[in-house]
Amino acid sequence: MTATVLVLVETINEYLPILERQGFHLILAPTPAERAAAIARQGSQIDAVLTRGPLGLHANEIAALPNLKIICVIGAGYEHVDLQAAADHGITVTNGAGVNASSVADHAMALLLALVRDIPRADAAVRRGEWPKIMRPSLAGKRLGILGLGAVGIAIAKRAANGFDMSVSYHNRQHRSDVPYSFCSTPTELARHSDFLIVAAPGGLGTQHLINRQVLDALGPQGFIVNIARASVIVTADLISALEQRRIAGAALDVFDNEPQVPDAFKGLANVILTPHVAGLSPEATQGTVELVGKNLTAFFSGQPVLTPIALPPPTAATLHNH
């Protein structure tokens, strides 16, 4: 059968022939208007949806797609996909956990280096004809704390420990006996034992606002924080006040609460580096991600188990009678 896939993602067009070669029919709807129009006009033809965490797929959209059977999320996060609605309609959900871990880890280290060594300000000064001798800390021998030791966290830890001679600690839902890094039982304890803190935890309710004023104060006035995960993990107002009052040394952020809107407070601060949620974007990661989507779709439509399923909540009682 030729399954029809609604593609809501805007960054993968170059790699969509991978799916077309596998026989899938694609409907591209990367803007909110195109998305609404495609669901309204072609809803009954759509068998699968390809989305990413921040774009999601909402309950009313799922209800408007009577033949939807599978939702594939590129990247690890799926925070705006309505898992309850998927469960209620018997829909399978997959993600791309781990595929872009190298790319995200590279970006995390690039942000950390740029932040600690003050690269953007040095670059701007030279372009203005200035020649400031800026004295900045080294990374070697420093203590790195990683919040969330999944595929991305592990990739960051390896780069930091093996490449930069840093000592690595982490906080995670559970202690991992398979790694040589030090476990801290709370985010505050992790921050207290860190010179630099990198957020690599998934988004969602389980991690919401794990980093607040208390954690930032534990990181301290010499401490730097990098977030390549989800903005929801940090209380944004607490981060802004800590930066403005120099209670921490600086922050580098790839993620924001209401993308693409970025708080003006961040833009006005010299001790902040901002990138537009691009950590996971590399040709290698994008190709790998789309290939994984292809494998999940092919497996699903040929009756095989999908490769990277997301666990869904139990269906609500009312829907059990309808199916």
- Averaged pLDDT, 134-157: 97
Contact predicate 195/142, CB 8 Å? yes
CA distances from 14 to 17, 287, 290 (A): 7, 9, 10
Fold agreement between 4-99+283-322 and 101-274 = yes
Is 284 among the residues known to form the active site? no
SS3 state of residue 49: strand
Residue 1's pLDDT is 58
- Averaged pLDDT, 225-236: 97
Is 189 among the residues known to form the active site? no
Q: Which of 52, 107, 171, 277 is catalytic?
A: 277
Phi/psi at 25 (5° precision): -95, 125
Given a cut of 70, is residue 40 above it in pLDDT? Answer: yes
Q: How many CB atoms lie within 10 A of CB 115?
A: 23
Contact predicate 140/112, CB 8 Å? no
127-141, pLDDT tens digit by residue?
999 999 999 999 999
Residue 2's pLDDT is 86
- Averaged pLDDT, 229-249: 98
- Averaged pLDDT, 232-261: 97
Place of tokens 């990098």: 226
pTM over cut 0.85: yes
Domain 4-99+283-322 sits in CATH at 3.40.50.720
Residue 146's pLDDT is 98
Task: Read off the pLDDT band of 321 (50, 70, 90).
Answer: very low
Q: Which of 259, 284, 291, 321 is catalytic?
A: 259
Is 230 among the residues known to form the active site? yes
Domain ranges for the chain, please list them.
Answer: 4-99+283-322, 101-274
Q: Which of 230, 246, 284, 323 is catalytic?
A: 230
50-85, pLDDT tens digit by residue?
999 989 999 999 999 999 999 999 988 898 999 999
Residue 72's pLDDT is 98
Topology of the domain covering 101-274 = Rossmann fold (3.40.50)
